[in-house]
Amino acid sequence: MQEPQYSAVNLEEKLALFDDHWSPRIVGRMNGHEIMVVKGKGAFPWHHHDDTDDFFLVLSGVLRIETEHGDVTLHPGEFFVIPRGVRHHPVAEEEVSLMLIEPAGTPNTGDAATAAEKVWI
């Protein structure tokens, strides 16, 4: 468990600390939710979350989220919430930086066996 923070969090500085893709880094917690940053490039596997919605906020780059109901393209400053249970996969032709917010412990693939380990930065 990370100690409470009593200073501002600079997302650009946090994103500069790592280079790997589709591996979320926790930068804060709020009301039982993890606030994360992640870099993405290429396609993330199709998946869904049975018990939680999925929140994507684009910080830089362009993200296309393909869903079983159609595609949504996001640009910097735009977000999209994917309702629980909806199959989806994010795709980034070029590197994209994102903020994600989800209940603590939610596996990024919807399955704990295949999920990336989340670490604090």
The pTM of this model reads 0.90
In 14-62, beta strands by DSSP E: 25-30, 33-43, 54-60
Other CB atoms within 10 Å distance of the CB of residue 25? 20
Residue type, 82: I
- CATH number of the domain at 29-106, please? 2.60.120.10
Q: Is the pLDDT reported for residue 5 higher than 80?
A: no
At 70 the pLDDT is: 96
Alpha-carbon distance of 31 to 12, in angstroms, equals 24
Percentage of residues in the chain having pLDDT higher than 70: 94
Contact between residue 14 and residue 100 where contact means Cβ atoms under 8 Å apart: no
Contact between residue 59 and residue 97 where contact means Cβ atoms under 8 Å apart: yes
For the stretch 66-89, pLDDT in tens is 999 999 999 999 999 999 999 999
Find the mean pLDDT for residues 12-19: 97
Domain locations in the chain as residue ranges: 29-106
Q: Is the pLDDT reported for residue 94 higher than 90?
A: yes
